[in-house]
Structure 1
Amino acid sequence: MILNVFLKSDSAWALEDAEVEREMTGLAGLYGNKGGVFMKFKLHGQKFCIVNSHFHAHDEGLSYRIQDYKEVNNGREEFCYVSSDYIFWLGDLNFRIQEKDEYSAQKIYRMIQDKQLAALYQQDQLKIAKDSGKIFRGYQEASIKFAPTFKLVVDSG
């Protein structure tokens, strides 16, 4: 897992205390294919923490994704500034549509074509888990105005 952070050269003088750490959650915490990478630094006197994470995949993996979040967040809390001014969290979180039986790939595709993104968003596992307080407490997310991404079965059209 990798995290690249770029800074304009005319602000390089204002960068202080840049450090990187990771929290591995893949296969008994020994493999870095799942987990998170954190970077903390000060810029113009402001404290930043940036997290890139990759959570468990597959339809049945919701409980593992939530556990991945908790482990990565614990690592972030230990590593990053307690009083960070800004925390940015990004990555491949792998959350899915909640009601998989009710929402087939064909139905989801039709809903996307019909611009029913708000209805799909109500079934987003990430939104549901966040709203229930299980993950990302206190974080703000910009409104989602794009279609969900998904994999297609080979030769399915």
Structure 2
Amino acid sequence: MTRDESSSSDEDSATPQFACSEAKSNMNYCLVASKQMVGIFLSVWVRRELVQHVGHLRVATIGRGIMGCLGNKGCIAMSMSLHRTSFCFVCSHLASGEKEGDELKRNSDVAEILKSAQFPRICKSPCRRIPERILDHESRVIWFGDLNYRVALSYQETRSLLRNNDWNSLLERDQLKIEREAGRVFNGWKEGKITFAPTYKYSQNSDIYAGETVKSKKKRRTPAWCDRILWHGNGMEQLQYLRGESKFSDHRPVCAVFAAQAEMNNRYRKACLGADSRIPSDELIPQRHSFY
């Protein structure tokens, strides 16, 4: 697999890994693709019995960091097909900052990613069209990561609302919500209802937001829902949207579970008639793992 140089970061020379990898023989999932660009990492895992039906794996990277091109900010996007349906996964780290107007930089990052991310063309392919851009996919795109949108309130106002668990009032001032409703970013995209506390910024190895103690005051940031998951299209249904409590970062991780429709060829469809293809969510997010 060759990289698309027109949409790759120059500082990242590692090629993406495309292979079925099984860490343990009793695992239900196989790693089929992984890619890292500085601090951005994306991997795709597929249930063991579905690996043979995965194809057209391709990757695109866009750097939006220092000088507008380095990979400390930007995205990794992966395109693949499952049976006869294409999927796209986008992991991004957008521009930081909580000053007024910084949200416009993040809007610009999203626009540039959608404009410039292009997957390598597959010369020999079946009659159906193979997507080359993020929005070319058949209504099955998931975008996630540190989108860095903040809450348009002061630190003191935000902390007061947090003490009362008044997340609805906080969400009304969420920059991503404001920008989406104004039509300035992620037009046509969807996000599930947020029912968890802001995911940023925490003191190291702590449940306390940075700035609540004298020691962490210099690192203080207004708590915000920086970490988000959105999707595009009608071919998916979100079943869960939640956050974990791992303390290895100043962020809390977020997770979503989706049910997605996939078109199968006639031969395989007949073999699957009557089978329930839905997977229990506790298998997708097992509580024994460090996500919790």
Report the TM range for the smaller structure's normalisation.
Answer: 0.7 to 0.9
Partners of 2:200 and 2:136 lie apart in 1 by 36
Moved more, 86-95 or 143-152: 143-152
Matched, 1:93 2:147: yes
How do 1:60-75 residues align onto structure 2 when only pairs under 5 Å count?
A: 60=99, 61-75=102-116
Contact 2:87–2:137 (CA under 8 A) maintained in structure 1: no
Contact 1:22–1:75 (CA under 8 A) maintained in structure 2: no
Partners of 1:18 and 1:81 lie apart in 2 by 16
Match of 2:154 in 1: 104
TM-score under structure 1 length normalisation: 0.88
TM-aligned CA distance change 1:94 to 1:85, over 3 Å: same
Match of 2:167 in 1: 117
Partners of 2:58 and 2:68 lie apart in 1 by 21
* Displacement after TM superposition at 1:81 (Å): 6.2
Work out which of the residue numbers 176, 183, 187 in structure 2 matches 1:133. 183
1:91-139 alpha-carbon deviations (Å, 9 max, x no partner): 10111112xxxx3323322312312111110100000000111111111
How do 1:13-52 residues align onto structure 2 when only pairs under 5 Å count?
A: 13-52=52-91
The structure whose residues are more often helix, as a share, is 1
* Displacement after TM superposition at 1:45 (Å): 1.5
Contact 1:46–1:85 (CA under 8 A) maintained in structure 2: no
Contact 1:41–1:47 (CA under 8 A) maintained in structure 2: yes
Matched, 1:84 2:138: yes
**One-letter amino acid of the structure 2 residue matched with residue 4 of structure 1:** S
Where in structure 1 do 4 or more consecutive aligned residues deviate above 3 Å?
A: none
1:45-89 alpha-carbon deviations (Å, 9 max, x no partner): 111011001011111222211111111121347533614230000
* Displacement after TM superposition at 1:155 (Å): 3.6
User: Computing the radius of gyration over CA atoms, which structure comes out larger, 1 or 2?
Assistant: 2
Q: Percent identity?
A: 30
Match of 2:273 in 1: none
**One-letter amino acid of the structure 1 residue matched with residue 146 of structure 2:** D
Partners of 2:43 and 2:94 lie apart in 1 by 18
Match of 2:95 in 1: 56
Partners of 1:50 and 1:9 lie apart in 2 by 19
* Displacement after TM superposition at 1:44 (Å): 2.2
